[in-house]
Structure 1
Amino acid sequence: MGSRSSLVAQPPQRPARTSTQQTPGNGNQPRRNFLNPFLQQPKPMSQWSSPQVPDSGWADENFLLGAAMVVFQPATLKVVVLHETKKKYWFLPKGRKDVGESLEQTALREAYEESGYRVEFLPLYTQTHAPGPPSNPQAPYGLNSEPIYISTAAYPARIRRNRIAPAGEYLTFWQVCRYVGQIPEDAVREEGTGMPDEVNYEAHLMDVNDAMKHLFHDEAHIVKYAWELFDWTRRIMEKERNKQNASESVAPPAQPDSA
């Protein structure tokens, strides 16, 4: 799947957490005006991301939160891809967050409803910037199930509850907010798990390259990134297993009981 120039095995040094809190507009930092995008110029980021967006602020009437999943079957190295059989397009499990639901719960629910598979999170070595808790400050450098991607999509004004709802942004979080999940080798797909408007969804297990050919460009890009993290994790774990096996093979024999 290409080089891993952007993903390194050794985590970068991160600044220690401090208890100092700064409030907007205090003397320790410049005032920010996120309502004036002309004050900011977009800057490029990594090869996996689009350029920076201006500092922004959205009221609740102008945004919508969702969660999605890239679901792998580690035993076969395949990925779950959905097919809308009537409208003839391919996509990944995704949906809006319900009131009172966490994004993690949304990701698992949507993956189940749309694919029919009971999905679990797939812990990976990621590039997350989420800090570790005081009890485990090294947590970001270990296996974790943090979201690996976030995407935005603008939507137009529309009629909602008999009134015109303003335009807004749909923010989607991906867990392996998009997330990475997994199903076992013997996973059985259940029927009738979707909503009434999802009856035409079919779930297929595909090789990653085949999946990327069927998906739209943005989702194919996310699958490629998820695969890079998954493959990176597999290689790290294989290296650790080999190291453990080597150390066990050279261990001195147990001494006989002198008694």
Structure 2
Amino acid sequence: MLLPNKDFKTSTSYRVATADNITNNPNTNIPKSSTTIINPPTTDRISVPTAAMPSSAAAAAAIPAPLSSPHPTFAQYPAENFVMGGGVAIFHLKSERVVICSAEDRRGRTYFFLPKGRRDAGESAERGAEREGFEESGYRNRLLPLPTRHHQPQAHPRITAPRITAEPVWIQLLPVGHRNIQYLLYWYIAETIPPSLEESLHSSPNEPYKPPPPFPADLTLKERLAMEPEGYEPIHHEGTGVDEEEAEYKSYLVPIEEAVVKLGKNDVMADVVVRGWRAIQDRYQMEEEIAGERK
């Protein structure tokens, strides 16, 4: 995890306030000619399909959405002035829970976050996100292909366009402490791995990280659920952190709504969870429709 200053918050959302969006705000004394940073409004809400969604998760879906940056921007950095990383929302599909982590800041206050960190040199962004998810939370995971919206082109030749992909659902541009380094952080959706893979990936603490195979292209979510016995709890591995700070992290599998509340309702990480859960429900529905067409 890249967090050189424990008081440094990576997830607070802001927007730039200009004369145009301050003029009609009776609650501000900011001069019309100035530009500053103000807290985001909480009126925009995410609309999430609630079919097959537990009531707690449905409540979590109706939360204020974090504001994205208002406009695309031009920026350029040489290699010595940027670093790339990835984070994951790791879902246990069968119990409808998600992994969150906690730590204490310098004042002894507990804060919650999704596992994330820098990718290793030569490592793909996707693999780095999975590895960081494992190291910081102790839960093995793999990215979950979902019907999320994105603007990435399809591979050539474009004979058929895949309806599901494991593209990131958010990207954040963050400063690294007080250094002149730009952090590019990609957020992905992942799942805990089935018991059979846990056995094949077993390793000792001193062995290199063993990445899981990708989610099979021909495996449905219903078939994936059948791979776990009733009441199965994903294995939590101890001692996976790679430094003293990560060794102090705690992790939990919690219901969707609880995760959203603990992460902060208008927080990017909370929205990663909401978007992931919404996309999982969309994939369930899509697979049911395909199965119905084949009958």
TM range (shorter): 0.5 to 0.7
1:3 positional shift: 2.7
Residue ranges of structure 2 left out of the alignment (5+ in a row): 1-44, 50-64, 195-227
1:224 positional shift: 1.6
Secondary structure (helix, strand or coil) at the match of 1:175 reads: strand
Within a 5 Å distance, the mapping from 1:241-252 to structure 2 comes to 241-244=291-294, 247=295
Q: CA RMSD in A?
A: 2.5
Secondary structure (helix, strand or coil) at the match of 2:286 reads: helix
The count of aligned residue pairs is: 193
**Structure with larger Rg:** 1
1:96 positional shift: 0.7
Question: What is the one-letter code of the residue matched to 1:59?
Answer: P
Q: Give distance in 2, aligned partners of 1:218 and 1:125.
A: 20
Of 47-56 and 190-199, deviating more is 47-56
1:119 positional shift: 0.5
User: 1:73 and 1:151, CA in 2 relative to 1: closer, same or farther beyond 3 A?
Assistant: same
Q: Give distance in 2, aligned partners of 1:219 and 1:108.
A: 16
**Residue equivalent to 2:163:** 142
**Which of the pair has the greater relative contact order for Cα pairs under 8 Å at 6+ separation?**
2
**Contact persistence 1:72–1:183 (CA under 8 A):** no
1:239 positional shift: 2.4
Q: Give distance in 1, aligned partners of 2:67 and 2:165.
A: 20
1:78-99 deviations in Å (ceiling 9; x for gaps): 1111122665111101001211
1:205 positional shift: 0.9
Q: With the length of structure 1 as denominator, give the TM-score of the two structures.
A: 0.67
Q: With the length of structure 2 as denominator, give the TM-score of the two structures.
A: 0.59
Question: What is the one-letter code of the residue matched to 1:152?
Answer: L
**Residue equivalent to 1:53:** 72
Is structure 2 residue 212 aligned with structure 1 residue 168? no
User: 1:88 and 1:47, CA in 2 relative to 1: closer, same or farther beyond 3 A?
Assistant: closer
Match among 196, 200, 214 for residue 262 of structure 2: 214
**Contact persistence 1:108–1:120 (CA under 8 A):** yes
User: 1:156 and 1:204, CA in 2 relative to 1: closer, same or farther beyond 3 A?
Assistant: closer
Is structure 2 residue 153 aligned with structure 1 residue 131? yes
Of 128-137 and 210-219, deviating more is 128-137
User: 1:137 and 1:80, CA in 2 relative to 1: closer, same or farther beyond 3 A?
Assistant: farther
